[in-house]
Structure 1
Amino acid sequence: MTAADPTTRDARRRPGISVRVRITATVAVLVALALAGAGAIIYALESARLENAASAQADQEIAEFRQLQEKGKDPNTARPFASVEDLLVVFLQRNVPSDNELFSAWIDDESKFESTSEHSGFSRSPEFESVVRQHLRKGGEELFDSEVGEVLVTVQPVQGTRTGGALVVVTFLDDSRGELKELIETYTIVSLLSLGLITALAAWQAGRLLSPLREMSETAREISETDLSLRLTETGNDDITSLTRTVNDMLARLEASFTNQREFLDAAGHELRTPLTVLRGHLELLDAHNPEEVGETRALLLDEIDRMSRLVNDLILLTKSARPDFVTTGPVDLGALTDLVLTKARALGDRAWVDDGTATRTVHLDEQRITQVLLQLADNAVKHTVPGDTIAIGSSDEGERVLLWVRDTGHGVRPEDRERIFERFTRSTVLRGDDGFGLGLSIVRALVEAHGGTVHVEDADPPGARFVVALPAATTGSASGSSSSTDLPPDTGHADTIRFEAVRPDVEERPWPAS
């Protein structure tokens, strides 16, 4: 395998477009599209309204022309109009077109008169004449584009006795849209200013919201294996704050894990150092030519090796307790389990063994592991009692959980030690002849927590100690695989920890990922 190209690594480390820029650009594009869409909709709606208004205005002019035709009289003769030309001339004289209108009077097939307007002369344009001639007989209206913009032409034909003609109302829509165009121009300027302001605010807000992420990145770069105490600042109450809190919790767990690991390794090294020193000292002083001394030294060294084996096996068990396949659950009769443990525990010592009550219920748990827990607690009770003292084992059903306990009439546990005794390599009262390592109760806690339960110690009645194991009634365990073949039933002959046989050298143990 060749080393990675430094330029490739640098390229991977170089950031692309930042999230802040992406957010700002996205907001800017969306706002621009929204403003442009709103402007287009406003223009379309207003333009349609103006066209409808122009058509209604032309219809009104045509209606007035019809009324003049039907009921009006020639002002010169005070009689009905004698000709189409007279009718059209009088209408043009009496009606003043709007600023965006032009009236044109047609006699037969050509334009004769038109009203005064800024667009005067338009009625003589070829395109206009072509459109009007198409509607001279039947009338109607038509919208078309001309050199002066969009034009609406409305034709109202009139027929006299000798000649025919038509009134043409021309509406210049671009003139009507003048104010609309000014409005759109103003809207465009305001929209651009608003877009710039919104973009600036989006950039500022994105930077403020993403600042915890930048702090998170900087903190992550500053964290090292020797210092996991750094934490992120938690401010606000939003999703970023929730993420910050989650990362802080993760850092706390990592720090606790590394701290426990260091303490565990320090304590394990301390406990192993003593038997190794004993082995080395006796081997250095051993007289190989003295058979009696060789025999005595051999027995002593084997005893020390047994102690080291117990310690190593206990440490292996504690390490395995975090594996998902450590617990194999199945249906277990709680009452039968309690009775079986009590029967096995009678061999631990000359004590008054008592059935403290049993629950009749089937629960899902690892029978071997819970048996191991109760026998360890019973063995611990034997250590802290004397012949004739009472040791009781019982169980009860509390609905959502079940309780199992070991009660004794010994000297009890001091209140300040009740939590500490479950830690590794920690003991409360050390009795004479106790050669344990302080791992027994920590193994108990690991086995119980692997079932999702808890263990604690409390005062007993009559006076003594009562170790209580609380397990969920529907414990399913961490996995359904079979337990390791190296985890054998406890050796009840030892008074401190549960002893396991060493792993056979011809059996290959499968490593658990990331263990």
Structure 2
Amino acid sequence: MTTPAARDRSRPVGSGSRLGVRARVLLVVVSLSALGLLLAGLLAFVAQSRAVDAQIDQALNQTVSEFQQLAAEGTDPETGTSFTDARTLIYATMQLSIPTTNEGMIGIIGDRIALTAPPAVQLRLEDDPELVAALAGASQGERIVLRTLTTAQRTYRFAVIPVHVERGGADGALVTGFDQDAEHARFNQVFRVYAYVALGAIAVVALAGAWISSRALRPITALRETAQVITESDLSRRIAVTGNDDLSELARTVNAMLDRLEDAFVSQRQLLDDVGHELRTPVTIVRGHLELMDPDDPDDARTTRDIAMGELLRMQRLVDDLMTLATVAHPDFVRPTPTDVGRLTDDVLDVLRPLAPRRWVVDARATSTLLVDAQRITQALVQLAANAVRYSAEGSTIAVGSAVQDGRLRFWVRDEGVGIASDEVPRVFERFVRGDRGRGTHDGAGLGLAIVTAIAQAHGGRAWVESVQGVGSTFTIDLPAATRPAPLPQAGPADGEHSGTEHDAGEERNEQWPRS
């Protein structure tokens, strides 16, 4: 047997609705606000519509009064006497009347339309066959009639004024009317604006109601709302933990799980962005060499094949290396070998030529043999050159160079582009940062300069930029001038460092891109 106390303890909590308390309160408030605004708008619409119809009738009645006054007191301008026929009276009335924008007139003599309004009148009553048919027999009427007629073209509100002259002649009728739809359209725009304002007001009410109800119910819903935000939109949010009970332990466990999930998602996004960004440039180089290759020249074909194979091997290595880009301190990230720096500088220039029609030159070349990873340095310089191509004009100069000074090996890429804004310089080497620089929108995930920094730091060095807007930029990679293996590199400087440097030593070679 169940006791009343047991029944009370087992009673379900809530109203049975799928909506929460805040949602139900908000729904009631918004619904009442919307209903009030709708009723107010409908009442105002009906009142304004009736006012427009009253104004049309007032204008028609005024025309009737003016016609009656002219018929009773007016004189024929040709004879100077009273009007003797319907045609002359109707014509004089139409000449004296100035129709408004949506008003028109016609004169009927007998059973046909004999008089029409001047060409400047926009509403042409005679052009609507249904209206003309409805006016059949108008000249035979005995009294003035105000009517409303809807045809395929529009809705008319018009007055029919029969004209009978006692001295003889054919009977006639003066018809003056308004385009009722056009007259109503004048104030319809006002109610469209009202509708937009009403929607905005409802939105404000909804936002205010949501904020008020949220604050009122915050002690009850704080944990649930935080958990929903975490699971649906933002992995960086964490549940606030207070106390040491079971709920606190659960919140700590969920926070730890979210830490692991966020790290996994960030690594995955970075990997996908890096792969897409890094594979574009090698593909462009291979395609450019293949397009320029002379298939009938064995030496050219062999050289192009060697370059293509080198790029394909680098692409294969990129796919493997990008898997570990998040851990740039991995020992295999760079594999330094004794490298002729001057020869490497020349080889890089040969690789860069097909990128774009620029004036490719060597500022200077070092003559030393030092420990560097030639493929990684090529990768970094290609990234910098591709960046320079994006932000420089066709035919401008892009220079590469290398130099050894004070125990440091420096590579650089110099362009004559539009430069970088001073407020963007400190952040250009950060991942996923793509400054506008006043140069428009360019493809890329904003990873190229971050990869350059990673390569420099993996060699125990750093990267920076000097830039003057309207003049150009110089990106520099500064490495230890090592001749024997060094210990694992320590953490490099902060991303985006942009101190200056001077370039000297070495000889200069200028080569210009061949124009077709």
TM-score range, shorter chain: 0.3 to 0.5
Please, what TM-score do these two structures have when normalized by structure 1?
0.38
Report which of the two structures shows the higher radius of gyration computed on alpha carbons: 1
Please, what TM-score do these two structures have when normalized by structure 2?
0.38
